[in-house]
Amino acid sequence: MRNLGSNIKITVDNLTVNYNDDGPDDAPIIIFIHGFPFNKTTWNKQVAALKDNYRVIAYDVRGHGNSSAGNADFSIDLFAKDLLGLMDALKIEKVVLCGLSMGGYIALNAVEKYPERFDALILSDTTCTADTPEAKEKRLKAIESIKKDGVEKFADESIKNLFAPESFATKKEEIAAVREMIVNTSQQSLYKTLRAFYERKETCSKLTEIKVPVLIMVGKEDKITPPAAAQLMHEKINGSLLKIIVHAGHLSNIENSSEFNGHLKKFVASVYSKAEN
């Protein structure tokens, strides 16, 4: 019997991973990976939309939400290894993987290393490129500014870039919840994740090797990983679908969940109807 519901704890390679697991036992499985520095609750609307027909798992990435951080330096390789560790611990062979931004970096890394473990991929508001020298410089400045001015200021500065202008009027509660997630992330985890982004390798050159169906989504007003980044991945991934989400910035799954969920449901249904034929 599997554990069902929210905030389940499991030990994976000495790390405590906090996750939720909903939906029927024998249904196809979708795993959601959140962005930085948020937590699995950013996927609540997607979990609710899918859990009647699919087994849906969302987890807190190492150092985020209620998962522990461990002692190692963070890297996208390590985050991908954690994902595979979680799948192994839950005895899950294959899933559809959906990642937003940092979650997308992890998904792209995981599909490159363990392609046989994934039936399909959803890449949301993310990019295959490494940090440019300017972006690397900003990572270091962010670390310095958190040390100097604290995490509240970092949260306020981050919020300005995360959302489409109209969301500040229409999504006040959601924005407040995201701010809470940022300020509740430990400073050590913020530094270690920013370092991991700084060191992150590009995955663009590997995209032609992806053989599974891929849906790419991006908020029309995403300033962090803009539609051009999504377009680049779309051009490289054979047969991929690209959907631009209106009324949305970087957190398109929250800012326009109805459009996001519509594409998500249609895509996942198409993956499994094809598999059955």
Choosing from 19, 32, 36, 163, the residue that interacts with ligand MLT (CB under 6 A) is 36
When asked if residue 46 is in the footprint of ligand MLT (CB under 6 A), the reply is no
Our CB check for ligand MLT shows the closer of 90 and 190 to be 190
State the number of binding residues for ligand MLT (CB under 6 A). 6
Site for ligand MLT in 69-108 (CB under 6 A): 101-102
- Nearest distance, CB of residue 135 and ligand MLT, angstroms: 8
- Nearest distance, CB of residue 91 and ligand MLT, angstroms: 29
- Nearest distance, CB of residue 1 and ligand MLT, angstroms: 34
CA angle 121, 122, 124 (to 5 degrees): 145
Our CB check for ligand MLT shows the closer of 154 and 197 to be 197
Our CB check for ligand MLT shows the closer of 28 and 249 to be 249
d(CA 168, CA 89) in angstroms, rounded, equals: 40
Site for ligand MLT in 219-258 (CB under 6 A): 224
- Nearest distance, CB of residue 179 and ligand MLT, angstroms: 14
Our CB check for ligand MLT shows the closer of 119 and 222 to be 222
Our CB check for ligand MLT shows the closer of 23 and 219 to be 219
For residues 182 to 221, the per-residue mask of contacts with ligand MLT, x marking binding by CB under 6 A and - elsewhere, is ---------------x------------------------
CA 156 vs. chain centroid, Å, equals 21
Our CB check for ligand MLT shows the closer of 19 and 105 to be 105
- Nearest distance, CB of residue 53 and ligand MLT, angstroms: 28
Structure-block tokens of residue 181:
């997630």
How many residues are recorded in the chain? 277
- Nearest distance, CB of residue 26 and ligand MLT, angstroms: 32
- Nearest distance, CB of residue 10 and ligand MLT, angstroms: 23
- Nearest distance, CB of residue 68 and ligand MLT, angstroms: 20
Choosing from 23, 28, 35, 213, the residue that interacts with ligand MLT (CB under 6 A) is 35
Distance set, CA 135 to CA 49, 129, 142, 198 (Å): 35, 11, 10, 8
Structure-block tokens of residue 128:
């295959």
Binding site for ligand MLT (CB under 6 A): 35-36, 101-102, 197, 224
